[in-house]
Amino acid sequence: MATPVYVPRINNNDDEVKILGFEVVKGAKVSADQILGQIETDKAVMDVTAPEAGYLLGFVGQPEEVVKVGSVLLWIGKTAEEEIPEMKADPGHDGAGGASQTTAKARLLLARHGLSVDAVPPINGRVTVEAVERYLAESGGKVGAPRRGGEAAVQPLDPGPNVAGSVVELTREEKGMASTVSWHRDFAVPGYIEIEYDTAPWVEYAKFFQEQKGLLMPPLLPLMAWRLIQVVKEMPRINATFVHGKRYEYQPVNLGFTIQAGEALYLAVVRESQQLDELAFVNGLGDVLRRAAGHNLRESETSGATIGFSSMERWKVTRHVPILPPHTSFMVAHAAGHAGKAVLGASYDHRVLNGGQVVSALKKIATPPKHQ
């Protein structure tokens, strides 16, 4: 029989706590006393541990949610397939002013679809699985799609603005950007770190390279991107993503490079870039970026990035925090310098990388190769 894990009390003065997050995912095998997640009040943070060994059947509370002490937080079963009982929830768990009762299974279903309990009309005063399913059917699929593994935070259904306006369809590129931003929000645990560095060595190196090779295009950014690819060879974990609780290190280095072409923002991809030498990469990236500027990118050049490089130097921006492209964990943020100094930053997925690793990678990228 499934075992509920209740929200523990942190101190005598707080009857409600906030769920900070969970360290396990639905379906995971857990051992007795294993830390499952954390809760907090204004005064303290506490680990929630498993009372017994088993499998995590599902969450009732969700990260960032404020819940009553003593309400059901999650369920553990002897097997991963065990059913969660259809139970009456703690009345206090329905939120402020909630007149109806919501069953545990209904809460799971609501979370999976990113729905607020307030959106669902109760049946006989109760929000049950039947009530949620009826609401989903009547909504005609217009509500949120099921979330992967039920592990993402609850996203309330956006009722839309109540000010007069008109709906404008997104272009293909705008849809791509919206998709990227949504991945960053829903699936990454993003962080951002920057370091300050002297720009002169890189400027000098790029000038030397341009003159030596007779290039028309200033090669500074392609050369810095090539340096990033070399850093991957030393630190393969920056060319990775997070899949089902594990780090997934990519074999190829598919470098995604942001380029603004008119109104469109592309992430132009150079595949297998680890196989190219410095000049071949600079030329290869130049080809791809030229096609992007002409809105002629090939299909293979618009997806599959495993790592990213972004610059806003063009706009004289001195600091920016880029969005992580889907299934990447490291995106360099290059910016305009001032008086010989500039910041070099990176957005990163904290599930894959820690701050020290990011700083180490940034320091390497901030240092150009030696002249040959």
Partner 1 sequence: MLLDKDAIAAEIKAKIVEIAAQTGDDASSLEMDEIIPATGLIDSTGLLELIAWYEKHYAIPLAQEEINIDNLGSLTRMAEFVLRKKQAAA
Rg of the chain over CA atoms, in angstroms?
25
The single residue among 7, 289, 333, 335 that binds partner 1, judged by CB under 8 A, is: 289
- When asked if residue 36 is in the footprint of partner 1 (CB under 8 A), the reply is no
- When asked if residue 193 is in the footprint of partner 1 (CB under 8 A), the reply is no
**Do 297 and 304 touch, CB atoms closer than 8 A?**
no
- When asked if residue 265 is in the footprint of partner 1 (CB under 8 A), the reply is no
The nearest distance, CB 320 to partner 1, in angstroms, is 15
Rounded distance, CA 171 to CA 158, Å?
22
Cβ-based nearer residue to partner 1, 110 or 292 = 292
Nearest one of 50, 35, 42 to 66, comparing CA atoms: 42
- Cβ within 8 Å of residue 247, ≥6 positions away: 237, 240, 241, 351, 352
What pairing do the DSSP bridges indicate for beta strands 190-198 and 341-349? antiparallel
- When asked if residue 263 is in the footprint of partner 1 (CB under 8 A), the reply is no
The single residue among 218, 340, 355, 369 that binds partner 1, judged by CB under 8 A, is: 218
How many residues lie near partner 1 (CB under 8 A)? 24
- When asked if residue 143 is in the footprint of partner 1 (CB under 8 A), the reply is no
Cβ-based nearer residue to partner 1, 81 or 211 = 211
Tell me the torsion sign for CA atoms 14, 15, 19, 24: positive
Cβ-based nearer residue to partner 1, 114 or 337 = 337
- When asked if residue 294 is in the footprint of partner 1 (CB under 8 A), the reply is yes
Nearest one of 113, 116, 191, 117 to 148, comparing CA atoms: 113
Rounded distance, CA 31 to CA 55, Å?
9
Cβ-based nearer residue to partner 1, 20 or 215 = 215
Contacts with partner 1, 300-319, as mask; x by CB under 8 A: -------------xxxx---
Which two three-digit tokens encode residue 190?
Answer: 């993003």
Alpha carbon 337 to chain centroid, angstroms:
28
The nearest distance, CB 304 to partner 1, in angstroms, is 21
Provide the greatest CA pair distance for the chain.
80
CA distances from 350 to 45, 274, 365 (A): 20, 24, 19
Cβ-based nearer residue to partner 1, 61 or 219 = 219
By CB under 8 A, which span of 32-40, 91-99, 179-187, 286-294 interacts with partner 1? 286-294
Nearest one of 238, 224, 258 to 337, comparing CA atoms: 224
Rounded distance, CA 370 to CA 205, Å?
8
- When asked if residue 283 is in the footprint of partner 1 (CB under 8 A), the reply is yes
- When asked if residue 264 is in the footprint of partner 1 (CB under 8 A), the reply is no
- When asked if residue 216 is in the footprint of partner 1 (CB under 8 A), the reply is yes
The nearest distance, CB 325 to partner 1, in angstroms, is 19
Rounded distance, CA 45 to CA 37, Å?
10
- When asked if residue 340 is in the footprint of partner 1 (CB under 8 A), the reply is no
Cβ-based nearer residue to partner 1, 133 or 272 = 272
Interacting residues with partner 1 (CB under 8 A):
214-218, 220-221, 259-261, 283, 286-287, 289-294, 296, 313-316
